Structures are given as structure tokens and as C-alpha cells.
A and B are shown apart, each in its own frame.
Chain A
């Protein structure tokens, strides 16, 4: 699975969009980009994933660059409850159900 690089921490004002970057310059053609978040020592929560195209769901949007070497998770209107550690994970659909987590980005949403 490709390695990812994320900033260790970010701040965002409540109500503003939070844009969390992830670099995955060694990504392979069959590797997906997944995003999970962990709120204060709870179990991680799936947010979104994508292969090539941009994706949107009720929680967030995922923007993947054309060369797929980087992506951005967008929380359109961040709230205090979005304060969490966000993990970007790149992996193939390996039919194993396992994930390898990095250090993630701690997002602090401030009033």
C-alpha cells in the first residue's frame, strides 16, 4: 500500500470549510484513497473513499488530483463536533479488510 503524508495539525473556524490535504505520490493505479476520522479516542469512523473521480457524500467531499498523487478532504461547514484526527489511507481493494493507519491530521475546529 502506498505511503501517505499529512500535516500533523490544522485549525479551522467554525462554519468555514475545512480542507485537509494528503500526499500519496507513490499511489498505484488500483489503489483507492480512504478517509477515516477518530473523535476523542472513539473507534475510527469511515468518511469517504475514491479511486479517480471526485466523490461527495453527506459528510464530506473528496477531491483527487488528475495525476492521483494528492487529494483533499473537504468538510464544507465545519462544526465543533468535527474536531478529530483525520486519517488518509491509500490501499488496494485487497479482500482482507485490513487498514494500515498513519499518524493523521488533528483538526481543531474553533468557535
Chain B
């Protein structure tokens, strides 16, 4: 059981480039979310989704775009990368219900030069 899979693990971009961080889960979870973590800081919510076709903004959505065309996948797009987006990005999923335990991927370390 793979759980939550994020690709790539590492990425270096130049300012202005665009890219997509991939996230897939095989647990049939309805909820998925993206977080970023800057050095020495806690996680901050970027975007989240409660099901296919439904997304919403979190705490720090600017500069990022998401879509949820399937239950399994929740890609995060950087439209025009900036140095301020250098961070570690985590994807998470959880099932519906009172427990709502989140399962996290192993992260993508992104550097924008």
C-alpha cells in the first residue's frame, strides 16, 4: 500500500519557470490538501479539496493553482516560480468522518533561484 506519493522529491527552478508538483493517493480518500514548510517553521495550508471537482484556498494560496479531476490525484501548479516559493511541499489525504486522520507524503524540496 503506497499511501500518499509525491513526485518529484527534489526540484530546482529558475525564477519565472512553471512546474507541477504531483500528488497521488491510493486510499480512496475524499480529502486532499497541500502544505508548505519553510525552514524552522510549521506547515502552512496552501489549497485543499473535499472531492473531485471541488477545491478551495488555504492560508497561503497566492502563486499556486490546483485542480482535482480524479479522487486519486491532486497536482499543485506553480504558475511563475519566485524565490519566496523555495520551501518543502507536503501533500496529505484523509477520509471523510469524525476521525479525519491525515496521511502525509514524504515531501518535495523545491528551490527557486
Interface residues of A (CB under 8 A from B): 32, 36, 41-46, 49, 87, 93-104
Task: Point out the residues of chain B lying under 8 angstroms from A45, CB to CB.
Answer: 104
Q: How far is the CA of A38 from the CA of B97 in the complex (A)?
A: 24
Of the four ranges (under 10, 10 to 19, 20 to 34, 35 or more), the interface on chain B belongs to 35 or more
Q: Are B90 and A46 touching (Cβ within 8 A)?
A: no
| With known contacts A42-B106, A43-B104, A44-B102, A97–B42 Cβ distance under 8 A | no
30 A-B contacts, Cβ less than 8 Å apart? A36-B102, A41-B37, A41-B88, A41-B107, A43-B90, A43-B106, A44-B90, A44-B92, A44-B104, A46-B101, A93-B98, A95-B50, A96-B31, A96-B48, A96-B56, A97-B30, A97-B33, A97-B48, A97-B100, A98-B48, A99-B33, A99-B43, A99-B45, A99-B92, A100-B45, A101-B35, A101-B42, A101-B43, A102-B42, A103-B41
In the complex, whether B1 has a CB less than 8 A from a CB of chain A is no
